[in-house]
Structure 1
Amino acid sequence: MRRRISTLAVTAAMAGGVLFTALPAHAAPTAGQAVMAARGGAVTVDIREMQKQVAELRARADRQDRAGNHAGAKRTRAQADALQRRIQQFIDAENNMG
Protein backbone atom coordinates (compact mmCIF):
# COMPACT_ATOMS: atom_id res chain seq x y z
CA MET A 1 0.00 0.00 0.00
CA ARG A 2 2.83 2.41 0.79
CA ARG A 3 4.37 2.00 -2.66
CA ARG A 4 1.03 2.75 -4.33
CA ILE A 5 0.63 5.99 -2.35
CA SER A 6 4.16 7.09 -3.22
CA THR A 7 3.66 6.29 -6.89
CA LEU A 8 0.41 8.24 -6.91
CA ALA A 9 2.11 11.22 -5.29
CA VAL A 10 4.91 11.13 -7.86
CA THR A 11 2.44 10.76 -10.72
CA ALA A 12 0.36 13.69 -9.47
CA ALA A 13 3.43 15.86 -9.13
CA MET A 14 4.68 14.97 -12.60
CA ALA A 15 1.29 15.83 -14.05
CA GLY A 16 1.54 19.18 -12.30
CA GLY A 17 4.84 20.01 -14.00
CA VAL A 18 7.32 19.35 -11.21
CA LEU A 19 10.75 18.32 -12.49
CA PHE A 20 12.40 15.23 -11.06
CA THR A 21 15.98 14.05 -11.09
CA ALA A 22 16.89 10.38 -10.94
CA LEU A 23 18.95 9.61 -7.86
CA PRO A 24 21.86 7.21 -8.42
CA ALA A 25 21.87 4.19 -6.14
CA HIS A 26 25.05 5.30 -4.36
CA ALA A 27 23.95 8.90 -3.73
CA ALA A 28 22.27 9.93 -0.51
CA PRO A 29 19.64 12.66 -0.47
CA THR A 30 20.68 15.98 0.98
CA ALA A 31 18.69 17.91 3.54
CA GLY A 32 15.56 19.36 1.98
CA GLN A 33 15.08 16.55 -0.51
CA ALA A 34 12.38 13.93 -0.41
CA VAL A 35 13.13 10.52 -1.92
CA MET A 36 10.35 8.23 -3.02
CA ALA A 37 10.31 4.83 -4.68
CA ALA A 38 8.48 4.81 -7.97
CA ARG A 39 8.32 1.52 -9.84
CA GLY A 40 11.64 0.25 -8.60
CA GLY A 41 13.59 3.51 -9.02
CA ALA A 42 14.22 6.46 -6.78
CA VAL A 43 12.94 9.95 -7.42
CA THR A 44 14.23 13.04 -5.66
CA VAL A 45 12.30 16.21 -5.13
CA ASP A 46 14.03 19.36 -3.91
CA ILE A 47 11.60 20.58 -1.27
CA ARG A 48 13.58 23.77 -0.61
CA GLU A 49 13.50 24.71 -4.29
CA MET A 50 9.77 24.12 -4.41
CA GLN A 51 9.28 26.27 -1.30
CA LYS A 52 11.33 28.99 -2.99
CA GLN A 53 8.99 28.78 -6.00
CA VAL A 54 5.99 29.17 -3.68
CA ALA A 55 7.54 32.30 -2.15
CA GLU A 56 8.25 33.73 -5.62
CA LEU A 57 4.68 33.06 -6.73
CA ARG A 58 3.27 34.73 -3.63
CA ALA A 59 5.53 37.77 -4.18
CA ARG A 60 4.39 37.97 -7.81
CA ALA A 61 0.76 37.78 -6.67
CA ASP A 62 1.37 40.67 -4.27
CA ARG A 63 2.91 42.74 -7.08
CA GLN A 64 -0.06 41.94 -9.32
CA ASP A 65 -2.46 42.97 -6.57
CA ARG A 66 -0.67 46.30 -6.06
CA ALA A 67 -0.77 46.89 -9.83
CA GLY A 68 -4.54 46.36 -9.82
CA ASN A 69 -4.52 42.97 -11.55
CA HIS A 70 -6.65 41.23 -8.92
CA ALA A 71 -7.75 38.37 -11.17
CA GLY A 72 -4.13 37.60 -12.11
CA ALA A 73 -3.14 37.77 -8.44
CA LYS A 74 -5.87 35.30 -7.57
CA ARG A 75 -4.64 32.87 -10.26
CA THR A 76 -1.03 33.22 -9.11
CA ARG A 77 -2.01 32.59 -5.48
CA ALA A 78 -3.94 29.50 -6.62
CA GLN A 79 -0.76 28.22 -8.30
CA ALA A 80 1.23 28.87 -5.11
CA ASP A 81 -1.40 27.07 -3.04
CA ALA A 82 -1.38 24.07 -5.40
CA LEU A 83 2.42 23.85 -5.23
CA GLN A 84 2.28 24.10 -1.43
CA ARG A 85 -0.21 21.20 -1.35
CA ARG A 86 2.17 19.12 -3.53
CA ILE A 87 5.03 19.86 -1.15
CA GLN A 88 2.93 18.65 1.77
CA GLN A 89 1.98 15.51 -0.18
CA PHE A 90 5.67 14.74 -0.75
CA ILE A 91 6.46 15.29 2.91
CA ASP A 92 3.55 13.10 3.99
CA ALA A 93 4.49 10.37 1.50
CA GLU A 94 8.10 10.39 2.71
CA ASN A 95 6.99 10.15 6.33
CA ASN A 96 4.68 7.22 5.52
CA MET A 97 7.39 5.27 3.67
CA GLY A 98 9.43 4.53 6.79
Structure 2
Amino acid sequence: MALRAAVASTRPERRDRLLALLEMWAESPFADPAARLRTGIVVTERAAVRDERGAAVGSGLNRPRPAPTSPAPRTPSAAGGPPCAQGR
Protein backbone atom coordinates (compact mmCIF):
# COMPACT_ATOMS: atom_id res chain seq x y z
CA MET A 1 0.00 0.00 0.00
CA ALA A 2 2.79 2.41 0.80
CA LEU A 3 4.37 1.78 -2.57
CA ARG A 4 1.06 2.31 -4.34
CA ALA A 5 0.57 5.60 -2.45
CA ALA A 6 4.07 6.74 -3.42
CA VAL A 7 4.03 6.11 -7.18
CA ALA A 8 3.11 8.94 -9.54
CA SER A 9 0.54 6.85 -11.44
CA THR A 10 -1.79 6.67 -8.42
CA ARG A 11 -4.67 9.11 -8.70
CA PRO A 12 -4.80 11.75 -5.94
CA GLU A 13 -8.15 10.56 -4.51
CA ARG A 14 -6.83 6.99 -4.22
CA ARG A 15 -3.55 8.22 -2.74
CA ASP A 16 -5.50 10.15 -0.08
CA ARG A 17 -7.46 7.00 0.84
CA LEU A 18 -4.33 4.87 0.96
CA LEU A 19 -2.51 7.39 3.14
CA ALA A 20 -5.51 7.60 5.50
CA LEU A 21 -5.54 3.81 5.81
CA LEU A 22 -1.77 3.70 6.44
CA GLU A 23 -2.05 6.40 9.11
CA MET A 24 -4.86 4.50 10.84
CA TRP A 25 -2.84 1.27 10.65
CA ALA A 26 0.24 2.99 12.13
CA GLU A 27 -1.79 3.93 15.22
CA SER A 28 -3.25 0.44 15.66
CA PRO A 29 -1.94 -2.43 17.81
CA PHE A 30 -1.01 -4.29 14.63
CA ALA A 31 1.84 -1.84 13.94
CA ASP A 32 3.02 -1.68 17.57
CA PRO A 33 6.00 -4.04 18.08
CA ALA A 34 5.28 -4.14 21.82
CA ALA A 35 1.65 -5.21 21.33
CA ARG A 36 0.72 -8.74 22.37
CA LEU A 37 -1.62 -10.45 19.94
CA ARG A 38 -2.66 -14.05 20.40
CA THR A 39 -3.82 -16.53 17.81
CA GLY A 40 -5.44 -19.87 18.31
CA ILE A 41 -8.42 -22.07 17.61
CA VAL A 42 -11.65 -21.57 19.51
CA VAL A 43 -14.70 -23.74 19.07
CA THR A 44 -17.82 -21.75 19.85
CA GLU A 45 -21.24 -21.01 18.44
CA ARG A 46 -20.53 -17.26 18.59
CA ALA A 47 -18.40 -15.24 16.20
CA ALA A 48 -17.10 -12.90 18.93
CA VAL A 49 -16.73 -13.02 22.71
CA ARG A 50 -15.98 -10.19 25.14
CA ASP A 51 -15.33 -10.28 28.89
CA GLU A 52 -13.35 -8.35 31.50
CA ARG A 53 -10.06 -9.65 30.04
CA GLY A 54 -10.64 -8.47 26.48
CA ALA A 55 -12.25 -9.63 23.30
CA ALA A 56 -11.87 -12.53 20.88
CA VAL A 57 -13.13 -12.32 17.33
CA GLY A 58 -13.27 -15.29 15.00
CA SER A 59 -12.61 -15.25 11.30
CA GLY A 60 -12.09 -17.87 8.67
CA LEU A 61 -14.01 -20.78 7.26
CA ASN A 62 -16.70 -22.49 9.24
CA ARG A 63 -15.33 -26.01 9.02
CA PRO A 64 -16.53 -29.08 10.89
CA ARG A 65 -14.43 -30.04 13.89
CA PRO A 66 -11.95 -32.86 13.30
CA ALA A 67 -12.50 -36.09 15.17
CA PRO A 68 -10.44 -36.40 18.37
CA THR A 69 -7.23 -38.35 18.00
CA SER A 70 -5.22 -40.29 20.52
CA PRO A 71 -1.98 -38.68 21.69
CA ALA A 72 1.25 -39.59 19.92
CA PRO A 73 3.32 -42.30 21.61
CA ARG A 74 6.05 -40.88 23.82
CA THR A 75 9.67 -42.01 23.61
CA PRO A 76 12.73 -40.98 25.65
CA SER A 77 14.70 -38.14 24.11
CA ALA A 78 18.16 -38.84 22.70
CA ALA A 79 19.76 -36.54 25.29
CA GLY A 80 18.34 -38.52 28.19
CA GLY A 81 15.85 -35.77 29.09
CA PRO A 82 12.13 -36.09 29.53
CA PRO A 83 10.14 -38.00 26.92
CA CYS A 84 9.08 -36.14 23.78
CA ALA A 85 6.24 -36.77 21.34
CA GLN A 86 7.26 -38.51 18.13
CA GLY A 87 7.07 -36.50 14.95
CA ARG A 88 7.08 -33.10 16.63
- The interval holding the TM-score normalised by the smaller chain is 0.3 to 0.5
TM-score normalised to structure 2 length: 0.32
TM-score normalised to structure 1 length: 0.29
Specify the structure having the higher radius of gyration (Cα): 2
More helix by share: 1
Greater relative contact order structure (CA < 8 Å, 6+ sep): 1
